[in-house]
Amino acid sequence: MSTHRRVWYPYASPFDPCPPITAKTYSTPPNLFLGFQPPNLEQFTPMQALRTGTLWKVFYDPWYSPYEAPRDGDHI
């Protein structure tokens, strides 16, 4: 799991009508942590940048559905 996911554990009642989801996750993308972008960060190649949507490796944080099978080349 991406280091930009956080997890929390909601209360589950013995009388919950649906099977409880005991752990819930949420995204905390890299833009929350950097402040003003520092100089000389590592870059993707131009082709990788066009595919990922960012030139900067530090900002790349792709989202995958938990129900989706990853494909070759999904993770750079």
Partner 1 sequence: MWLYEKKLQYPVKVSTCNPMLAKFLVEQYGGADGELAAALRYLNQRYTIPDKVIGLLTDIGTEEFAHLEMIATMIYKLTKDATPEQMKQAGLDAHYANHDSALFYHNAAGVPWTASYIAAKGDPIADLYEDIAAEEKARATYQWIINMSDDPDLNDGLRYLREREIIHSQRFREAVEILKDEQGKKRIF
* Residue numbers at the binding site for partner 1 (CB under 8 A): 27, 29-31, 34-37, 39, 50-54, 59-68, 71
Quickly list H helices, 1-76.
46-52
Shortest distance, position 65 Cβ to partner 1, whole Å: 5
Q: Please say whether the beta carbons of 75 and 51 come within 8 A.
A: no
d(CA 57, CA 42): 6
User: Quick one: 10 or 15, whose CB is closer to partner 1?
Assistant: 10
Q: Which is nearer to partner 1, 31 or 45 (CB)?
A: 31
Partner residues linked to 25 by β-bridges? 7
Least distance CB 66 / partner 1 (angstroms): 7
**Residue 25, amino acid:** T
Closer Cβ to partner 1, 15 or 18, answer by number: 18
